[in-house]
Amino acid sequence: MIQLFDLSKKFGPNVALNDIRLRIRQGEFVFVTGPSGAGKTTLLRLIFGAEKPASGYILINAINLNRISRPKLDLLRRKIGFVFQDFKLLPKKTVSENVAIALEVIGLRPKFIRKKTHQTLRLVGLADKEKAYPLSLSGGEQQRVAIARAIVKDPLILLADEPTGNLDPQLTMEIMELFKSIHRKGTTVVVATHSQELLQGTDCRTIVLNHGKISEDTL
């Protein structure tokens, strides 16, 4: 479960998030939307522990991120998958190596890592690109590598920052189906997007951010 209490975040004089109170239950599928600069990415980064709040608290499965030690944050991150908006892929590593990194840090056996990486790449439709380097891939393919790295460890929470930003409608639907299948296994999925097409007709909970505040929550 993700709980945010009176959460605020500032970057210098700019207020990115202001007095956010939010509860996302385990196994929920949530969209966070709003215009650019509304604070979507900041919100995800705070949940991930990549930013520290100016005030307020963040609890992840009852763990207070404000008081978490560095080693415990590392362990917590192994249970959270993050799809970064800029993918954060390593250009000098192959697609397979980029995905395998998420399992290597856990210290799993190389044989299992190879098998699981292959399975996940097949799931995102990149089984034939295992040996390719990220820069030789299209934007959509790079995005799928980033998604594969986030889901390869079967995370409890999946945070995705504009995961369909570079994808065509067909691929967007495929990725969303992928997220839904992960969600069906019990993973909490939080997708930050400004794409209205993605939200049309969805029955998932949608949180709208505006100027760092929650202006709407369809809970």
Partner 1 sequence: MRSYFVRQALINIRKNLSVHILSLGTIVASLLILGLFLLLFGNLNNWLQRWGSALSMSIYLKDGISEYRRDKVDSFIRGLPGAEIKRFISKEEALKDLRAALGDDAGFLSRLERNPLPASYEVVFGSKGTYGVNPEKIKGELEKLDGVEEVQYSKEWLKKLEGFLDVVRLIGFIIGGLLCLCVVFIVTNTIKLTLYSRKDEIEILKLVGATDWFVKSPFLLEGMIQGTIGGILAVLTLFLGYLILPTHISLLGLAPLDFVFLPAGYLILILILGTVLGVIGSFIAIGRFFEV
- Using CB under 8 A, list all residues that contact partner 1: 48, 50, 70-71, 74-80, 82, 84, 88, 90, 93, 101-102, 104-107, 110, 149, 153
CB of 66 to partner 1, least distance (A): 16
Whose Cβ is closer to partner 1: residue 19's or residue 154's?
A: 154
Whose Cβ is closer to partner 1: residue 74's or residue 216's?
A: 74
Whose Cβ is closer to partner 1: residue 6's or residue 74's?
A: 74
Q: Say if strands 63-64 and 55-60 run parallel, antiparallel, or are unpaired.
A: antiparallel
Q: Which two tokens stand for residue 146?
A: 């980033």
Neighbour count for residue 79 (Cβ, 10 Å) = 14
* Distance (Å, whole) CA 83 – CA 85: 7
* Distance (Å, whole) CA 196 – CA 199: 5
Phi–psi pair at 141, nearest 5 degrees: -65, -40
Whose Cβ is closer to partner 1: residue 77's or residue 118's?
A: 77
